Amino acid sequence: MSFLTAALYKFVELPDYAALQAPLLACCEANGVKGTLLLAEEGINGTIAGPEAGVRAVLAYLRQDPRLAQLEHKEAWADKSTFYRMKVRLKREIVTLGVPDVHPALMAGQYVKPADWNALLSEPGVVLVDTRNDYEVYIGTFEGAINPATSSFSELPAWVEREMREGGQLADKDGKKPKLAMFCTGGIRCEKSTAFMRAKGFDEVYHLEGGILKYLETMPEAQSRWQGECFVFDERVSVGHGLKPGAHTLCRSCRDPLTDQDRASPLYELGVSCPHCHDRTSEAQKAGYRERQRQVELAQARHAAHIGVRQDSQSGH
């Protein structure tokens, strides 16, 4: 377990974010670190992996900037690198909601520590919302959570608007907005979504500090209200309690997580298709994926990484 993975994000004003790109990329490459980091005026987000000394050197470099001095990260270990490339990208948002004037650094909901999360969920009337995408919810979520069935985070505002109407799951009850508990993988989408909900007039808005990953890391499995595994945006694909690697693999066509049942389907072809995407790709696309898979297998036979394999972090902490 010699490779360290660090997931990180921070909402902070970085008006000079474009100027940070090249030096940060150079630092990562000099230290043998790979992954994806996103920079925007609202902050930084991403996941990096590599030798422990290299990852810690990059984290120290970031924290030299006074604005990032309090940057927190989450660690996990693997016996191989979870990424094949290093990318530092400039973005409009570090997690795309698509709603202007939502400022998580100023408006986010109230943190709830993992040790206190179960108690919050036991309170009567609490509405529990999974802010992640449908393919993530598919492999695991908290008992009783609402699945907005979104394919991207930017679809969440439209779902909120629909559910705030009379009869919806977020509608007023007895003239009062419900108490909300929201969660995501590592916390970043919760900070933005809870800020959005507060802007929509919800006063009691809570989110799981450190996200699902911190809950799975610290909560004893016997006391857990989590069901299934948690999708992660690297080659581990999913993790369970104690952040142990899960049983899921990744479809190289649609990037959805795959169960044993999915892989047993006649619609599954390694590197080409799965039950989720088989009917959405043409024969020409499948032929291209087959050639890519052939190149991957040739590279593996040479004990080399195939740089054509998509390893983009979707950065959905």
Residue whose pair of structure tokens reads 């996941």 in the numeric block: 47
Catalytic residue annotation: 184
Q: 62-94 in b/e burial notation, b at 16+ Cβ within 10 A? A: beeeeebeebebbebebeebbbeebbbbeeebb
Q: What's the Cα-to-Cα distance from 19 to each of 55, 62, 291, 315, rounded to whole Å? A: 21, 14, 39, 21
Which H or E run includes 261? helix 260-264
Q: How many CA atoms lie within 13 A of 219 on its CB side?
A: 25
Sign of CA dihedral 223, 217, 70, 9: negative
* Helices and strands (DSSP H and E) totals, the chain: 10, 15
